[in-house]
Structure 1
Amino acid sequence: MTTPGTLPLDIATWVGRDAELAQACSRLRHGRLLTLIGTGGVGKTRLALRVAHLLQSSHPGGAWMVDLGVLQPQGVTPERIYAHLALTLGIRQLGPAGLDVLLDHLHNRRILLVLDNCEQLVPAVRECVNALVRTAPHVRILATSRQALSIDGEQTLVVPPMPPHEAVDLFNACALAAGASPAVIDDQRAVTDLCRQLDGLPLAIRLAASRVRTLSVQQLTQRLADHRFRLLADPSAACADNENPPRHSTLRQVVDVSYDLCTDGEQTLWNRVSTFAGFCDLSAIEAICTGDGVATAEVLDLVSGLVDKSVLSVDATAGLNHPPRYYLLNTLRDYGRHKLATSGQTQRVRDRHRDYYRALTSRAATTWLGPTEPEAMATVHRELPDILAAIDESIACQDLPAAREICRDLVRTRAPFFFGWLDLATQQLRRVIDASKTIPTPHRDDAADLAATMSLAAWVDATQGRHTNAAELVGAAYELHQQWELAVTPAVLYGHGSSVALNTGGQDAISLLAAAREALADSPGDRQMASLMWAMASAFADAPATAVRNTEEYLRQSEAAHAPWTISWALWTAALAALANDDHARAEELAARGLSLQRDLDDQWGQTWSIELSAWIIAAQLGGGDSVSTEARRAGWLLGASRARQQKLGVNLPGLRPLARRNTQARAAIAGVLGETGLAEAVDAGVRRHANAVRIALKESTSRRPAAIGSLRLTDRQREVAAMITQGMTSAEIGTHLRITARTVDVHVRDILQRLGLRGRAAIATWWTTQGDQQP
């Protein structure tokens, strides 16, 4: 049996800790909140991970590792933590991802949340955890922190240093794993003395053990003693905040020794890699951390050296077809940041970090149109912690044009819609707009840039049904243009036209968006999005012939671009136009094609609206005949399923008036056959069983047999990929067979692994052989 979750592989050497492990497991089985407390480097995270793996099977909703260390401590609110939790849990939420969204997701789910590195965010974490403990009765929380959270019902377990015999065993195991000769550790008395000097801290032991290939145990002991005397002679070495090295003096000594034993290049790279908020790959390190003593050609060797020395860790969940990703443990990241500040290079490296992620989002925003658009969105999703850090840095340094550009590009990639963190993107837009209002607009270009940001924020608000906000933003954008006597830009036309289309469906939206579309001829991705809204506005307006002509043109453009997500929405708009033209057969065919594609892509946002559209199409065809009651119930059921999904995604249907009107028309047609009571019953059934909505809409059979764990979590395309993996096919071979790129196959493989809680292709093959091929 498999369970979902985000626990990393537990592949590091595990020694001892039997007593702490047993206590932690017992306390969590009998309580709902346990905080592991201890100094940095004592092994809280490793112990939490081990406990989570042991208890995972008793939590069908999964065990989820949430690293709070990636959040900047300045100004973090409980709402920001809720959004971070929603991202980690895979909650797709287009509206505000607050406590109510989390509670709705966690309702009746037996989940284990591991909240790692809480110490820098204790007040906000305390409020968040207190709310979850009180209102999500089936959730257990395992936290790690250097201090208690001080919440009613909290149990605490102090994680002590390892006792001498366990410390020695760990040192020996790590030394041998690092490639040391057994002869190096023959003198177990010397090893015991060294471990005693290391105070039994697992991180210190691992760092020291990684060096015994080049230094004897006695040499390590002497170096540590030298550093101890240096610290005693320099009281100013005490640590005060997050920018400083580890507080525990012994850990400080061993990290100092490990740092000293690195080459100059390795030290410099360590310092600079500490700027990353999350994981990073080699290309990012080469772009951000080179120069001033580090050549690009050296980076791979320097990274390998830091991995060998247990400084850099490798993400064990990366697939074979993806480049490895690296990260620093929080203690080592803090140390590197302190050293970077001491060297006077912090701002330079942060500027390069900001510029790199600014360029990454810009590239994704301008080049996504094509067969690889799912991978482009996945890249943005994967790099989100560092993109947000780049926005934070830009605002902190008052580089508001950079902050505005990153925020706009983040939305232009469409990743917030696809992965369901639109409100997080909205928060960033609001932050940068509010910050921009606090200082005078210095020149015309800056005014145009701010107006473009306001216009894009208006479009986002309009998609969420917040038309008052959208209208205010559009009005402010026009005021800036008037104040600076600027010609109206495509961005403002787009924001204005989209807001009108989604608010009233009026015909003036068509001309506004047509003008934007024409002006964006040199920007294919932006032109495509303007074309989408233009086609949608055409389908909303009461002009069926124009709607069919415009939506069919947009469909032809999308198919020529071979962009799957774009094609799915072009099919949706063309189906809506066909419905408006009373061409029900064409509408049904287009809607089915679009929904099938959205299922392949696992596009929850698109599926929701295609299910809704399918209900409208069925309702429009209700007439006489023996099957009219059956079809009316199917249409009502689909309306209920769509409503349930809209609520999960945070969609405000009444605020999207053209869509709400269609919904009202469909309900009236269904009630004309079933009556109001029959309509209510059908809608309620759809709300309760919406997991089968795509199959119902496509007229596919649904099995009444209980499905194995994870079966309903795979799309049909993912099931095809799983079957081919079982046959031993590579990503390239699968891509050729399915007519998709190998990178798209890899995206499917990653999703399969996460959904089923598996690790590696071999596990997929095993699952498919034992369970997957038996599913309906």
Structure 2
Amino acid sequence: MSVRATPRYRGDLPVEVTSFVGRRRELSEARRLLGRTRLLTFVGAGGVGKTRLARRVAADLRRAFPDGVWLVDLAPLQDEELLAPTVAATLGLADWSVQPSLDSLVDFVSDKHLLIVLDNCEHLLDVCAALADGLLSAAANVRILVTSRQPLGVGGETVLDVPPMSLPAPDRPMSERHLDESEAVRLFMERAAEAVPDLALAEGDWEAVARLCRRLDGIPLAIELAAVRLRSLSIVQIIDRLDDRFGLLTRGSRTAMPRQQTLRATVEWSHDLCSPGERTLWARLSIFSGGFDLPAVEQVCGGDAIASEDIFELVAALVDKSLVRRDGARYRMLETIRQYGRMMLAESGEETTLGRRHRDHYQWVVMRSKEARFGPDQLRWYARLRLDHANIRAAMDFCLTEPGEAQTVFRMVTANWPYWIYYGILGEGLHWLSLALKKDSTPTAARAKALWVAGRLALLQSDLSGAELLLRDCADLAKKLGDPSAEAHAMELFGVAELFKGNYAEAISLQEEAVRRYRVIGEPPGACAVALYRMALAASASGRTDRAEAFCKESLAICENHGTHLYRPLALWALGFNEYRRGDLREAVATIGESLRLQRHSNDQWNTAQCVEVLAWIASAGGQHEHAATLLGAAHTLWRSLGTSMPRTPPFVDFHDPCDSHLHETLGDEAFAAAFQRGAILGPDEAIGYALNESPRRSRRTTRAPSALTSREQQVAGLVAQGMTNKEIAATLVIAQRTAEGHVEHILEKLGFASRAQIASWATKNSEAD
């Protein structure tokens, strides 16, 4: 079969939901500068449009970066230690390595040609500077575009000041014919038309529009906030009220820069025009990090001055005033607006109270997901947690600053511990547990569970010594507490450690006893399914294929009976590996092929890598040497995207190294290297297609519809790509809004996505491919 690679990554830029206006000079200059500099920083005051400009520049340059353009929004990130893991996760690099995150990220991008947009860096300047310097030093074809209120101060950095939008000349009469001459006026008119669709201006109004834009210094956010006021005020009335606000502000503070005064005056005027309930909600919404949904607002922000039944109307009012942005069924605030709200919240004295409510809500979300961690709703809940990841982080941050709250962090990380593994963010899970374990050493069951979950994550990062220290602490504490669950998990994980050391008999013995204990105490069935999969791996590796087959079938039966679909591909892989060990190569290919096909419904990069790896061994054993070398190259790239050293660990190394040596000897170094490279350039979907012997055309088509979207769902995905809200989709398709929301939720679940932006990117890519 031929190998045809498509770009492995295309990026994750969000779809623009409003028109992009002007900025021709800045766009041209940015493109020119990125042609000769590798680090370009957009600097400017809040509200001047740095983020929007950066996203447009990145979108325009997409074709120049075959490995994609990637947006990393740093506004919600407060813990600087999570910067490198956050960037890595955005680029698709999972954290399965004990190696420092920055080192793994540097290694991952070293041979890539991509553009990274680091948005809102001003509160993380030092670590962003170190990250940029590390990446650019190691990767010749990486470019970084930064938005910040001040430069990073890194050698080689080029700074582009983002000015306000161009204004109409003060000495020239303004009319509709001169609209294109002023970016600020064009922006005001476009946003005004969105706010008041039947807006009609008389000839005399154009001078007032020009005066208003000049009064607002051409600052895009200020202009957008003023435009929505046309729903209730005339342009002249808007100007008069702004003049009053400017007068008050000037008397109150003469030290601020003029542009800062302008934006502050506009935001404060928006605040003054809000009702008391809207002001209170604005302040309370600032407690959220990243996006949020209506149920979260009702739980966190209701009460006291805001009745629960009024929440929806108040949120809608803030959306109408452009103070809150709607993104499908979720909402978000621009960072400038959120920061003003946080200031109001601090002044209200409610900041700690709202922090506790926020923590309680997201602890409830995580604990509720626990019920589905080994069932048919598993993937849906993972997607839900991923949407709320920034808020879960913020809740744990809050806990670590409050006395006696570290135990809450234990519960939030461990309640649905497979989530951290599924998304490849093992290092972050360990980060939170390590901080909490240091902060609170109280001997509780929550601490014992935190120790074995941390040990599990460390094991999967190949940190055997670190994992065993954690597990010994867990076993000692569990014995003192009389905690049979923690004792069983520690025993299972000691067995996994023996597996990774190549001590297969001991690995089977320990895990077999753990499974027996799980059944006695009624542990969730998924725990048994995973342990049985690894017991099968140990038995197969040691040549005990009959026992391995029994373990595999038992694991598969659990998956079938309890709907734990996430673990079925793992059990199938173990069965296929066992068939390979028995010499049944045809059956092994079929079984592992079934496992790979199921991967298109999930995000399990680990199993994809191990499936492709074993198919290489099978191809080599069957005399398909060039095909085997290409599969080894594809597996190498997949393992590398996980940041793991697992191919160098038993039992994988027991079969990988002989296969590699045999292929070098059979093909010769030059032919092997050529075939290996053909596989190494394949992206995950192309690697799966190649491994399954699909034709390139079929492979691409299957990739575009990995979860068999219905024709209606494909239609909805296309409308999402056009930037439509659920309400607009419903109107376009003449269906109920709830129906449209259901379609979007199904698409997210089927594709394993966490945001509408991912749907839009997917739909756009597939449209281009057609």
Normalising by structure 1, we get a TM-score of 0.82
**Aligned residue for 1:133?**
136
Checking the alignment, whether the CA contact within 8 Å between 1:92 and 1:421 is kept in structure 2 is yes
Shift of 1:249: 2.0
Match of 1:400 among 406, 420, 423: 406
**Aligned residue for 2:374?**
369
Checking the alignment, whether the CA contact within 8 Å between 1:641 and 1:683 is kept in structure 2 is no
Shift of 1:401: 0.8
**Aligned residue for 2:206?**
188
Q: What letter is aligned with 2:651?
A: P
Please give the alpha-carbon distance, in whole angstroms, between the structure 2 residues aligned to 1:548 and 1:560: 18
1:685 aligns with 2:672: no
Q: What letter is aligned with 1:418?
A: Y
Cα distance per residue 1:360-403 (max 9 Å; x no partner): 22232331333443322222223222222222111121411111
Cα distance per residue 1:33-80 (max 9 Å; x no partner): 2222111112222222232233333333333222111111xx514xx3
**Aligned residue for 1:305?**
317
1:471 aligns with 2:465: no
Q: What letter is aligned with 1:58?
A: A
Report the count of equivalent residues.
716
**Aligned residue for 1:289?**
301
Bigger drift between 657-666 and 143-152 goes to 657-666
Shift of 1:289: 1.9
Match of 2:48 among 30, 33, 42: 42
Write the mapping of 1:77-476 to structure 2, written as runs, cut at 5 A: 77=81, 80-95=82-97, 96=99, 98-165=101-168, 166=182, 167-179=184-196, 182=199, 187-235=205-253, 248-315=260-327, 323-398=328-403, 399-413=405-419, 416-437=420-441, 441=442, 444=443, 446=444, 448-476=445-473
Please give the alpha-carbon distance, in whole angstroms, between the structure 1 residues aligned to 2:760 and 2:715: 17
Checking the alignment, whether the CA contact within 8 Å between 1:640 and 1:684 is kept in structure 2 is no
**Aligned residue for 1:597?**
598
Q: 1:616 to 1:513 in 2, by over 3 A?
A: farther
Please give the alpha-carbon distance, in whole angstroms, between the structure 2 residues aligned to 1:473 and 1:203: 50
Q: 1:343 to 1:590 in 2, by over 3 A?
A: same
Shift of 1:333: 0.7
1:480 aligns with 2:492: no
SS at match of 1:657: coil
Q: What letter is aligned with 2:196?
A: G
Bigger drift between 596-605 and 456-465 goes to 596-605
Q: 1:314 to 1:753 in 2, by over 3 A?
A: closer
**Aligned residue for 2:740?**
none
Cα distance per residue 1:433-489 (max 9 Å; x no partner): 23335xxx2xx5x2x321221111111222222211111111112233455566664
Please give the alpha-carbon distance, in whole angstroms, between the structure 1 residues aligned to 2:423 and 2:575: 24
Shift of 1:655: 6.3
Checking the alignment, whether the CA contact within 8 Å between 2:43 and 2:150 is kept in structure 1 is yes
Please give the alpha-carbon distance, in whole angstroms, between the structure 2 residues aligned to 1:726 and 1:333: 34
Q: 1:678 to 1:377 in 2, by over 3 A?
A: farther
Q: What letter is aligned with 1:463?
A: L
**Aligned residue for 2:705?**
718
Please give the alpha-carbon distance, in whole angstroms, between the structure 2 residues aligned to 1:540 and 1:742: 44
Q: 1:210 to 1:637 in 2, by over 3 A?
A: closer
Instruction: State percent identity of aligned pairs.
Output: 30
Q: What letter is aligned with 2:604?
A: D
SS at match of 1:262: coil
SS at match of 1:34: strand
Match of 1:649 among 625, 642, 652: 642
Cα distance per residue 1:478-511 (max 9 Å; x no partner): 2334555666644433433433344333232233
Shift of 1:571: 1.2
Q: What letter is aligned with 1:344?
A: G
Please give the alpha-carbon distance, in whole angstroms, between the structure 1 residues aligned to 2:242 and 2:436: 48
Write the mapping of 1:498-647 to structure 2, written as runs, cut at 5 A: 498-503=496-501, 504-505=503-504, 506=506, 507-519=508-520, 521=522, 523-533=524-534, 535-536=536-537, 539=540, 543-579=544-580, 586-601=587-602, 603-617=604-618, 622=621, 630-631=623-624, 634-635=627-628, 637-647=630-640
Cα distance per residue 1:119-161 (max 9 Å; x no partner): 1111111111122233322222222111122222222222223
- Structure 1 alignment gaps of length 5 or more: 241-245, 316-322, 623-627, 732-740
SS at match of 1:42: coil
Q: 1:729 to 1:187 in 2, by over 3 A?
A: closer
Please give the alpha-carbon distance, in whole angstroms, between the structure 2 residues aligned to 1:727 and 1:234: 55
Q: 1:578 to 1:764 in 2, by over 3 A?
A: closer
Q: What letter is aligned with 2:305?
A: G
Q: Which has the higher contact order (CA 8 A, sep 6+)?
A: 2
Checking the alignment, whether the CA contact within 8 Å between 1:433 and 1:450 is kept in structure 2 is yes
Checking the alignment, whether the CA contact within 8 Å between 2:94 and 2:423 is kept in structure 1 is yes
Normalising by structure 2, we get a TM-score of 0.83
1:12 aligns with 2:18: yes
Please give the alpha-carbon distance, in whole angstroms, between the structure 2 residues aligned to 1:583 and 1:21: 60
Shift of 1:194: 3.2
Q: What letter is aligned with 1:168?
A: V
Shift of 1:204: 1.1
Q: 1:563 to 1:214 in 2, by over 3 A?
A: same
Please give the alpha-carbon distance, in whole angstroms, between the structure 1 residues aligned to 2:83 and 2:564: 34
**Aligned residue for 1:76?**
80
Q: 1:752 to 1:329 in 2, by over 3 A?
A: closer
Q: 1:721 to 1:599 in 2, by over 3 A?
A: closer
Q: What letter is aligned with 1:433?
A: L
Q: 1:685 to 1:584 in 2, by over 3 A?
A: closer
Checking the alignment, whether the CA contact within 8 Å between 2:14 and 2:758 is kept in structure 1 is no
Shift of 1:110: 3.2
Checking the alignment, whether the CA contact within 8 Å between 2:601 and 2:751 is kept in structure 1 is no
Bigger drift between 332-341 and 93-102 goes to 93-102
Shift of 1:609: 1.1
Q: What letter is aligned with 1:137?
A: A
Shift of 1:558: 0.6
Please give the alpha-carbon distance, in whole angstroms, between the structure 1 residues aligned to 2:131 and 2:615: 39
Shift of 1:32: 2.4
Checking the alignment, whether the CA contact within 8 Å between 1:548 and 1:577 is kept in structure 2 is yes
Please give the alpha-carbon distance, in whole angstroms, between the structure 2 residues aligned to 1:433 and 1:654: 31
